[in-house]
Structure 1
Amino acid sequence: MENQTKLYGKVIVKAKDILDFISQSPEFPTLNDISKNLNITKPTILKILNTLIYCGFITKSPDDNRYHLGIKFLEYASNVTDNLEIKSVTKPFLSKLRDITGETVNLGIVENKKVVLLDKIESPNSIKLVSKIGGTMNMYSSSMGKAILSVYPEEKFEAYLNTTKFERLTENTITDPVKLKENIILTKNQGYALEKSENQKDIICVGFPIAKNGIILGAFSISAPQYRVDDEKLEEFINYGKETQLQILASL
């Protein structure tokens, strides 16, 4: 593999080579099959195989000692499919929302208590946003994150409050759990999250959760520089956002 020496954790690369070989083999391979075809010592292969079995990535047939991929990959594939589906479903609605508002519209999902930016439909007007597709942001400081927190079950929300380290990103970032809880209750009651320079200075965002039948799929938001958003414009964002939310939910 090119630039392999620059990678951290060569054993992970070896594990990938083993998984690739198992997945591409015409029949389930044995330890000898893997050893003959990979430039890895048999003892090392066996150690990696046992670790992969423990993690659920592969299984070994007890009768003939052949290896095949485990059901863990089905779980991962399902999650990836769900993420891609929500992106494809929301794209036309979020594109229309961008066109109506003239501002950047974002789509996010939650992973490891962070909002991951899944899609970003840029404003035709110049705006400097630090966010990028694949990047993450805190739930407590972003409108999409707060929108998602507002539809969390109470127990899950309390667990988030108790296990999260709150760090100040701007002078407006809410770092007090009590104040954040009050803000999330307000968000839940009004149906949208408002974030004013809490995640990035001089940027205002309005976020809306995407949740149906008790399943939280993600959230979307409208982002704009504060100087372009007066009270009237903000009200338009909220109304257009709620309409878009209903359209997305109806299509799911």
Structure 2
Amino acid sequence: MLIHAKKILDFIMLSAQAPTLTEITEGVDISKPTVLKILTTLEFLNFVYRDEVNKTYYIGTAMIGYSEKALSGLDITKIAKPYLTKIRDITGETVHLGIEEHNEIVFLEKIEGNRSVALKSRVGGDLPMYCSSMGKATLATKTKDEIEKYADSVDFLPRAENTITNKARLLKEINDARKCGYAIDDRENENEVMCIGAAIEKDKHVYGAFSVSVPAYRMTPDQQQKIIDLVLDAKAKISKQV
């Protein structure tokens, strides 16, 4: 039952608009009576909220406390945020902080830029490692066997115009990231968005990763080098404090 409840909460959270009971039932492929029973319990616990007029469901206020507690317990957020905010202030671009979880990168923090375009990312959301700078930077910290295991198990689904769709290219970019200390997402996850990211590592332990997202038209060679320098500097300073 808990697995069903999570599927329902995930569907509501990821829906572009608040879904109805029928839409949830179709989306999670669970019988309508079961979905209704779970939603009724979740509503009683304030995990979901039901709009009586439109008959639609929203994530409830009880979830806020859980998310805040989870994030407050992650020291990497507290340590990294001042450095990432500084990058945002210098560049005007959006900066993300994430951690690896189940072969995905989960966003812990999103520091919005004042020059940024609308991005799909959100705190608590995730994205594949093979097509993100944070993911490739994280993979670059792993052993050869771990990388091979990941590359052999992942489905290289195209997400944008330049998504990595084969193992050979991924292995090359991971190798490049290991050599230079950062990774690049060149319009691989979102069209016309580039990211430069690095892993936060100390004593062979990876605490997370961060990236700077820039519209491709603003990523001139000079701007790219400036961001690389900022990323490497922040990586070194954060790693000293973890």
TM-score by length of 2: 0.71
Task: Give the 3 Å change call, closer, same or farther, for CA 125–166 of structure 1 in structure 2.
Answer: same
1:129-155: CA deviation from partner (whole Å, max 9, x where unpaired): 111111110100011001101111222
The CA distance in 2 between the partners of 1:118 and 1:215, in whole Å, is 18
Which residue of structure 2 aligns with residue 85 of structure 1? Answer: 75
Residues 144-159 of structure 1 aligned to structure 2 (within 5 Å): 144-159=134-149
Determine helix, strand or coil for the equivalent of 1:90.
helix
C-alpha distance in 2, partners of 1:167/1:215?
29
What is the match of residue 222 of structure 2?
A: 232
1:24-70 Cα distance to aligned partner (Å, 9 max, x none):
xxxxxxxxxxxxxxxxxxxxxxxxxxxxxxxxxxxxxxxxxxxxxxx
Q: Please give the alpha-carbon distance, in whole angstroms, between the structure 1 residues aligned to 2:73 and 2:134.
A: 16
Query: Which structure's CA Rg is the greater one?
Result: 1
Q: How far apart in 2 are the matches of 1:100 and 1:7? A: 48
- The 5-angstrom pairing of residues 131-142 of structure 1 reads 131-142=121-132
**In the alignment, what sits opposite 1:143?**
133
Residue 13 of structure 2: aligned partner: none
Distance 1:203 1:189 in 2: 24
Does 1:209 pair with 2:187? no
| Structure 2: unaligned runs, 5 residues or longer | 1-20, 22-32, 46-69
Q: Any runs of at least 4 consecutive aligned residues in structure 1 with deviations exceeding 4 A, and if so which? A: 5-10, 80-83
Listed as ranges, the gaps of 5+ residues in structure 1 are 18-79
Change over 3 Å in CA distance of 1:7–1:151 after alignment to 2: same
In structure 2, what is the equivalent of residue 124 of structure 1?
Answer: 114
1:245 corresponds to 2:229: no
Q: CA deviation at 1:126?
A: 3.8
Residue 81 (structure 1) shift: 7.5
Pairwise CA RMSD: 2.4
Q: Which string of whole-angstrom CA distances, capped at 9 and with x for unpartnered residues, describes residues 169-192 of structure 1?
A: 122111110111011101111110
SS of 1:235's equivalent in the other structure is helix
- Write the letter of the residue equivalent to 1:174: I
The CA deviation at 1:123 is 0.3
Say whether 1:98 aligns with 2:110: no
